[in-house]
Structures are given as structure tokens and as C-alpha cells.
Amino acid sequence: MASNYLKELEVALLAVQRAVRLTKRVFHEKAKGTVSKDDKSPVTIGDFGAQALIISALKANFPHDEIVAEEEPAQLREDAALRDQIWELVRNTKLDDAAAEGLLGGSIPDVDAMLDLIDKGNSKGGPRGRIWTIDPIDGTKGFLRGGQYAVCLALLEDGQVKVGVLGCPNLPVDDSAPLTADIGANQSDDEGRGVLFSAVEGQGAMSRPLGTGGLSEGKTISMKPITNMSDASFCESVEAGHSNQSESAQIAQKLGITNPSVRMDSQAKYGSIARGAGDIYLRLPTSKTYQEKIWDHAAGDLIVREAGGQVTDTKGARLDFSVGRTLASNSGVVAAPAVVHGQVLDVVQQVLGLK
């Protein structure tokens, strides 16, 4: 029987909403408990805490599903001070709505149970079955800089993205607000900011304000119908090491795009183009060896496609979430409204020398 994924969507939205409450507390702290991972990238107490809370909600509702999550608890088992800071955050973060909190399965019993939950995100992924993928804080560098970041959750079934949710605490609630990575001068003022994007395969894409309790009504979002490329806006990473910014500038110029790129951290880029605040998202490989991670793209891929977009890699292939924890068979990302995707891809391939 075909599933409409109603329960999966509700649990995913609430789990992300709750995790965002935790990450926002850390965002407003000066000391974010940052440590460096083996690959030199940063991770904070916010990343670990959000991952624990989301996995707890998934295990309470879908105990047989597998989970591919970004963080692993090894460093925490050795660092009691860091572990205790995370536990303090996790045990004190709840939704205001008791029924919603109850749906997420209630409290985690103790610090060891929390570490075990973080460890449950260690699935290898693959082509079969139900697999959730979590990026507890996407754009950790943006999070540390006081910029955009996203809490990301998606459900894959037999390698296809079925449900995607992105919590973007620093994007404007207003879907028609202009595309900017700026979150305003007064960073302690949350007024008008915080959006939850979601999509279910075949059911369209939605946005709603991030709240503190249950879920508010969602609005359908769609990409902007581009009639004139010179009016288009495109977004890319802030980090020059994540995407080739000189190639993207050449692509924009060849397409006739006159606006400068908007540089924004995280999957907030996918959400922004899905609601028509921007039009095109380019991610151009900077190295031959880096493989994109499935948690960095699964939710955004579905949200953009359900909003009327097309998402491929630079070779024109759809993103393949069925080959493990990384997008090993893809190279880069080209996301654009479906009607112009072919035109954009053509120029990307010319500039990258792929044709």
C-alpha cells in the first residue's frame, strides 16, 4: 500500500523544531563548546545535542529504521566536561506543547543513554529499506560565524528521498523576503526569523514558522518562474573551499546574470531557492577527492524538486542517495527551476570543460 508519510512528516517536523530550540540556545552563547574533528572541521555541543534529540524522537516512533547521522560520540566518551555540557542542554530542551513533546517519546534517561543514541546514527546507508539521514547542524562554520545554518532531516526509502525537513532559524519567516545571508545587526533579536521547510514526495513543498511548541499551519512554496536570466539570483557557499567561486562567477556571466551571488552557509540555500527568494544554487567541486555527504543534500534535494525545481550534479545526473553515506557517484550540485535547468547545466558544463 502506498504511504502518505503523514506520521513521518509530523515526527520529523517536531523533532527538527525541538532540535532547533537547542541549537538556538548554543547560537546565542559566546562559548559554543567547539572541538575539531579528525578532518579538521568544527563540531559544537549544539551539533551533538541536536543529533541526540532527533535520534531519540526517531527511535521512539520508528524503532526499526536505520539512521545515517553526521556526528559520532567517540570524542565525548573521552571528554567528560564536554559530555556534561551536552547532557545539560539535552535534558533541558523540550517543546512547550506537552502532546507534541509526548509524541517525540519523552526524556532521555541519562548521559550514557544519550551517547548510545548519538551512536545510533552510524548506519552505512545503501540502496534498500528505510534510512533517515540527519545533519544536526549544517553549516557549522556559519553557525560559529553568526550566519545561516540548518537542522536537516530526511527519510530515504530504497534510496529515494520520501520526506525532507529543513529548520532554518536565521532565515526570514516571510517567503517573499529578498535573498540575503544577512541576519540583521541585532543577532539576539529573533523577530521575524526562523522557518521550517518540508516536502513529501509527490505532495509538494511547504514552509511554516519555526515555533516553540506544536506545529503552525504550512504554506505551499514554489520556485520563481524565471522569464529573464538577467533578473535571476544565484547562491553558493560562503566557504571558498566548499565550492569553486571563480567558476560560478564565469557561469553567471555567461548566463547573463547581473546580480552578484548571495553567499550563504548550509542547506538554507535549497530552502531559499525553493520558495523563490533565489533562483539557482551552484556547488562546484573544489577537489577531485571530496565526496558530498547524503545528510548535506537529501532534504534540500526533495524540497527543491517538489517546489518545481530540478537538482542534478554537474554531469546532469540526479543525486544518488543509494550508494552509502556519501554521494560517491555524483560531482557537485546544480539546482534550478525545472524550465531553465537544462540551460544552466549546459553553461556549467561548458565552463567546467565537461562538453
Ligand X SMILES: Nc1ncnc2c1ncn2[C@@H]1O[C@H](COP(=O)(O)O)[C@@H](O)[C@H]1OP(=O)(O)O
Which residues face 130 on adjacent strands? 157
For Mg ion, the closer of residues 135 and 201 by Cβ is 135
262-263 and 234-236 as β-strands: parallel, antiparallel, unpaired? parallel
Residue with smallest beta-carbon separation from ligand X: 237
CA distances from 34 to 27, 75, 82, 262, 292 (A): 12, 12, 9, 27, 23
Which residues face 165 on adjacent strands? 153, 198
Q: Which amino acid is at 237?
A: S
**Contact between 317 and 329 (Cβ < 8 Å):** yes
Which of 149, 146, 126 shows the shortest CA–CA distance to 138? 149
Asked if 138 interacts with Mg ion (CB under 5 A), we say yes
CB of 40 to ligand X, least distance (A): 9
Asked if 301 interacts with Mg ion (CB under 5 A), we say no
Q: Which of 23, 44, 47, 314 is catalytic?
A: 47
CB of 267 to ligand X, least distance (A): 8
96 catalytic residue (yes or no): no
**249 is written with which cell numbers?**
562567477
- Residues in 25-54 at the binding interface with Mg ion, rule: CB under 5 A: 41
For ligand X, the closer of residues 14 and 154 by Cβ is 154
DSSP of 301-350: HHHHHHTTEEEE-TTSPBP-TTSSSB-TT--SEEEEEHHHHHHHHHHHHH
CB of 355 to ligand X, least distance (A): 23
Site string for Mg ion, 60-79 (x = CB under 5 A): ----------x---------
Q: Pick one of ligand X, Mg ion, none as the site partner of residue 237 (Cβ within 5 to 8 A by kind).
A: ligand X
CB of 44 to ligand X, least distance (A): 11
286 catalytic residue (yes or no): no
Q: Pick one of ligand X, Mg ion, none as the site partner of residue 290 (Cβ within 5 to 8 A by kind).
A: ligand X
Which of 130, 197, 117, 180 shows the shortest CA–CA distance to 158? 130
DSSP of 186-236: -TT--TTEEEEEEEETTS-EEEEE--SSSPPPPEEE-----S-GGG--EEE
Find the helix packing angle between 111-119 and 80-91, rounded to 10°: 90
Residue with smallest beta-carbon separation from Mg ion: 138
137 assigned ligand-binding residue = yes
Site string for Mg ion, 108-137 (x = CB under 5 A): ---------------------------x-x
CB of 9 to ligand X, least distance (A): 24
Neighbours of 286 (CB within 10 A): 16
292 assigned ligand-binding residue = no
Asked if 201 interacts with Mg ion (CB under 5 A), we say no
Which of 129, 266, 255, 276 shows the shortest CA–CA distance to 207? 276
Applying CB under 6 A, the residues found at the interface with ligand X are: 41, 138-140, 142, 237, 239, 241-242, 265-266, 286-287, 290, 296
Catalytic residues: 47, 140
Which residues are known binding-site members for Mg(2+)? 70, 135, 137-138, 296
Summarize the annotated binding site as residue ranges.
Answer: 70, 135, 137-138, 296
Q: Which residues would be at the binding site for Mg ion (CB under 5 A)?
A: 41, 70, 135, 137-138, 140, 296
